[in-house]
Structure 1
Amino acid sequence: MANDNLDCPVDFVTVDEHRARLVAFVVLLLAIICFVTLNWGLSLFMLVDFILRALNLNKYSPLSFIAGWLLKASGRKPKPVDRAPKRFAAFVGLVFSLAITIALLTGLFTVARVLLAILMVFAALESLAGFCAGCYVYTYLKTFGLVR
């Protein structure tokens, strides 16, 4: 990150930034569709995919698989970045997707749309600008002693 005051999580394992950004773009598209249709099945799909990625089971993640296939077909060279901020962001996405799914299943459509809008903003920032808000969130959580 450009800001030296940030204390991003690190685990010294790398992932492809292009793949992570493409996954975030697909999440953005799915969230937009879910926002319009209020389809709980779509939010459940995102939830399962976020769970897989948060647990480092990317090889089973449909979104990661699709992104990897598209990148391989495009011939784009991998750009290694540390995995931990992306994994932390996946955990945050998991929490949002769980809340969205519960809101949709219980008929709280306005709540679901607000949560989807927040998810869309962060997915757009990651996918279109390469800005990972996870480092900022992590820094605040660490400041308040909520994470190590």
Structure 2
Amino acid sequence: MMNPLEPVDHSALKVNQLLIILLSLLAFILNVPLLVALVALLMLSASLLLKRAAFGWVYHLFLKPLGWIKPDLIPDHREPHLFAQGVGGTFLAIATVCLLSGWFVAGWILTWIVIVLAALNLFGGFCLGCAMYYWFHRLGIPGFTQSPPEGTLPGFRPRKEVNHG
């Protein structure tokens, strides 16, 4: 059943994407697979259990109260963002297994895929995981219940004003 659009704070999502990028880059530069594992764990637990952005707490506890980043509420669905974060977390979990098993090239390639896709979302406004979610909905796959907001192509950031008529 399709839920109505609700205000989603895209500033929190952007902070989440930025921290995923920075921590994953730091893990690569310093060659610390356990940091990849930590980011994967936070992303997966936030997606599956907490139903929020893994690093949204940084935004809500520090950046927003200090006035450093203003809220950017956009009518949207939460489910595609949680799905996308879960896909990224899964890639990083598999990357961790690869890195800890000595398959360094495969592990770092998977990590870089997450970095590049998070950057595409942060800087380009396109979320491949969200697009996948909407395409799965269109194919009728159970559990994928939402359509993109009206006037929004699958995966692209919705406009602030959604036309309902």
State the match for 2:161 in structure 1. none
Give the counterpart of 1:76 among 70, 75, 85. Answer: 70
State the match for 1:124 in structure 2. 119
1:100-132 CA-partner distances (Å, limit 9, x unpaired): 110111011100111111101111012222221
Displacement of 1:146 in angstroms is 4.7
For 1:82 and 1:131, how far apart are their aligned partners in 2? 15
Q: 1:105 to 1:75 in 2, by over 3 A?
A: closer
Deviates more, 1:136-145 or 1:63-72: 136-145
State the match for 2:56 in structure 1. 64
Kept in 2: contact 1:10–1:84 (CA 8 A): no
Q: 1:142 to 1:99 in 2, by over 3 A?
A: same
Structure 1 gap ranges (5+): 1-8
Kept in 1: contact 2:41–2:93 (CA 8 A): no
Displacement of 1:50 in angstroms is 0.6
Q: 1:130 to 1:111 in 2, by over 3 A?
A: same
Between the aligned residues of both structures, percent identity stands at: 24
State the match for 2:149 in structure 1. none
Q: Say yes or no: does 1:29 pair with 2:22.
A: yes
For 2:53 and 2:87, how far apart are their aligned partners in 1? 19
Structure 2 gap ranges (5+): 145-165
For 2:26 and 2:63, how far apart are their aligned partners in 1? 21
State the match for 2:92 in structure 1. 97
Stretches (4+) displaced over 3 A: 9-14, 58-61, 139-148
Q: 1:125 to 1:104 in 2, by over 3 A?
A: same
Which structure has more helix as a fraction of its residues?
1
Higher relative contact order (CA 8 A, sep 6+): 1
TM-score under structure 2 length normalisation: 0.72
Q: 1:141 to 1:29 in 2, by over 3 A?
A: same
Displacement of 1:38 in angstroms is 2.7
* Coordinate RMSD, CA, aligned: 2.5
Kept in 1: contact 2:21–2:119 (CA 8 A): yes
State the match for 1:41 in structure 2. 34
Q: 1:145 to 1:77 in 2, by over 3 A?
A: closer
Deviates more, 1:50-59 or 1:86-95: 50-59
Displacement of 1:16 in angstroms is 1.0
